[in-house]
Amino acid sequence: MLLEVRGLNSHYGRIHALKSVDLSVGEGELVALVGANGAGKTTLLRTLSGVQPATGGTIRFEGVDITGMPAHRRVAEGILQVPEGRQLFGPQSVEDNLRLGAYRRGGDPDADLERMYALFPVLKDKRRQPAGTLSGGQQQMVAIARALMARPRLLLLDEPSMGLAPLLVGEIFNAVQSLKRRGTTIFLVEQNAYAALAIADRGYVLETGEITLHDAGSALLANERVKQAYLGL
Ligand SMILES: Nc1ncnc2c1ncn2[C@@H]1O[C@H](COP(=O)(O)OP(=O)(O)O)[C@@H](O)[C@H]1O
Ligand SMILES: [Mg+2]
């Protein structure tokens, strides 16, 4: 497994936000973790990317224990998080935001830029516009493309569908699916359980910091408990 998490805990003071979480992501897999608001999804991603300390358990990446590794070194290892709420440089152009994503990698990012514009054609039309003037869906595309410019080995997506109209949700998830087809390994956390599980190889359900279900994405979509709690069916 590319990512192997065992017994992971995280706290905010006395709040026990992650309770002995076990999960794994294999090379080339698209794994979704779904859960309600406040379940601990963002905390989990922040703990994986190293901006939030683990208070117990281990995180292994390619078999190496990275539990205590600082965040910037995890980025250098290829673990890239697209944060909740996008966090773009609003006054900078779309293209400058994308180029910043390749900054650490060095070299010539032009070929990668063209790949990003092929993935999200609308960004090519808007490449000279300040990122902050784009719609929410387009800003999400910039945020994902910026992370991809670093050529991640593991892409962590935090609720890419948040705040988007249904049509744009479909567009974002199509792009995520096409990234997976091109071989990118993706760990996606979402409140939008239907959209996430529909494209995932495997899925986990997180409830108040605990993994309560784990199965193939299609099996979770058909699971009665998931249907009732997350799909409104
Ligand atoms: N900075 C923080 N300080 C204290 N508690 C926090 C902080 N961030 C999140 N929490 C708490 O941790 C729990 C998990 O939050 P979070 O990981 O943001 O959930 P999700 O992303 O699934 O909505 C919630 O109970 C939340 O209130
Ligand atoms: Mg969150």
Distance CA 104, CA 71 (A): 14
Residues touching ligand 1 (Cβ under 6 Å) are: 12, 15, 17, 35, 37-43
From CA 191, how far away is CA 25, in angstroms rounded?
Answer: 19
Ligand 1 atom nearest the C-alpha of 84 is 21
Fill in the amino acid letter for 129: Q
The residue to mutate among 11, 42, 48, 162, having the most atoms of ligand 1 within 8 angstroms of its beta carbon, is 42
Q: Measured in angstroms, how far is the CA atom of residue 192 from the centroid of ligand 2?
A: 12
Query: Which ligand 1 atom is at minimum distance from the Cα of 206?
Result: 22
CATH code of the region 1-78+152-159+170-233: 3.40.50.300
Count of alpha carbons within 13 angstroms of residue 152, beta-carbon side:
26
Residue 59: its H or E element: strand 56-61
Instruction: Give the closest ligand to the alpha carbon of residue 10.
Output: 1
Digit-by-digit pLDDT tens for the chain (233 residues) are 999 999 999 999 999 999 999 999 999 999 999 999 999 999 999 999 999 999 999 999 999 999 999 999 999 999 999 987 778 888 999 999 999 998 877 677 899 999 999 999 999 999 999 999 999 889 999 999 999 999 999 999 999 999 888 888 998 999 999 999 999 999 999 999 999 999 999 999 999 999 999 999 999 999 999 998 887 76
Q: In angstroms, what is the span from residue 98 Cα to ligand 1's centroid?
A: 29
**Ligand 2 centroid vs 144 CA: distance in angstroms?**
16
> Who contacts 161 (Cβ-Cβ below 8 Å, separation ≥6)?
169, 172, 173, 190, 191, 192, 195, 196
Using CA atoms, how far apart are residues 73 and 162, in angstroms rounded to an integer? Answer: 28
Domain residue limits, the chain: 1-78+152-159+170-233, 80-151
**Backbone φ, ψ for residue 26 (5° rounding):** -90, 160
* Farthest CA pair distance, the chain: 50
